[in-house]
A and B are shown apart, each in its own frame.
Chain A
Amino acid sequence: QQQVKQSPQSLIVQKGGISIINCAYENTAFDYFPWYQQFPGKGPALLIAIRPDVSEKKEGRFTISFNKSAKQFSLHIMDSQPGDSATYFCAASNSGSGSRLTFGEGTQLTVNP
């Protein structure tokens, strides 16, 4: 019930294309869904986050789509750039659990020039 499943494990996109990463969760008590970006040898950085009261959130080229009934959420990176090449993690938490995050297994994104 605590798992967050992320796919694909790896993704190769051409510069200018759209990168899409999907996550599914089981615990209906989750009410906060962040995405993190991690470069090699660095700590993850919060990219964008969404709560279940909205179905979409956009920040620049990054968009989260949220489907509460399907218990799925996804990250869309528009106009993907080589500098976006990194590992992306989705996560989920229940505010009542003291912000303990459950992470997906990560997606390694490569954007070819």
Chain B
Amino acid sequence: DGGITQSPKYLFRKEGQNVTLSCEQNLNHDAMYWYRQDPGQGLRLIYYSQIVNDFQKGDIAEGYSVSREKKESFPLTVTSAQKNPTAFYLCASTSGDEQFFGPGTRLTVL
């Protein structure tokens, strides 16, 4: 089955902890993206990567970090510096102009 997988589906974090969200794709797509979605709002771009070992900040990168060591994987770390991390996080990858999304991870800070 081809597609984008994100894990875990739900994640709970205590204040002050770093957590890492997983995103894997087997579509052989070069570009991958991380978005944050807050209730009733649109998608805001956190980071994106167009090629292995390279990535760029999006519009709201502060408090987040990423790596792109493999074409298939683009993990996102939410650091303790992110003051309001509770949100729905979406990973996407691109074939040409078409962008495909994973099922999302809902992060809640306790």
Task: Out of B31, B50, B97, B100, name the residue touching A95 (CB < 8 Å).
Answer: B97
Q: Which of A14-22, A56-64, A72-80, A99-107 contacts B (4 or more CB under 8 A)?
A: A99-107
Contact status B104-A43, CB under 8 Å: yes
Task: Out of B41, B92, B103, B104, name the residue touching A105 (CB < 8 Å).
Answer: B41
The smallest beta-carbon distance between A4 and chain B, in angstroms, is 9
Given contacts A49-B97, A99-B31, whether A44 and B43 have CB atoms under 8 Å apart is: yes
The smallest beta-carbon distance between B76 and chain A, in angstroms, is 15
Task: Out of B50, B90, B96, name the residue touching A43 (CB < 8 Å).
Answer: B90
Compute how far the CA of A44 lies from the CA of B89 in the bound complex, rounded to whole angstroms.
12
Compute how far the CA of A100 lies from the CA of B50 in the bound complex, rounded to whole angstroms.
10
Residues 58-110 (chain B) with a chain A CB within 8 angstroms = 90, 92, 94, 96-104, 106
Instruction: Mark B residues whose CB is within 8 Å of A.
Output: 4, 31, 33, 40-43, 45, 48, 50, 90, 92, 94, 96-104, 106
Given contacts A105-B41, A105-B42, whether A99 and B97 have CB atoms under 8 Å apart is: yes
Given contacts A42-B104, A98-B31, whether A106 and B99 have CB atoms under 8 Å apart is: no
Closest A-B pairs by Cβ, 9 of them: A43-B101, A105-B42, A99-B94, A32-B97, A103-B42, A103-B43, A44-B101, A98-B50, A43-B103
Chain B residue contacts of A104, Cβ below 8 A:
42
The smallest beta-carbon distance between B2 and chain A, in angstroms, is 15
Q: Per-position contact with B for A31-43: 1 when CB-CB < 8 Å, else 0? A: 0101010000111
Task: Out of B4, B41, B98, B106, name the residue touching A106 (CB < 8 Å).
Answer: B41
Contact status A100-B42, CB under 8 Å: no
* A85 sits at the interface (CB 8 A): no
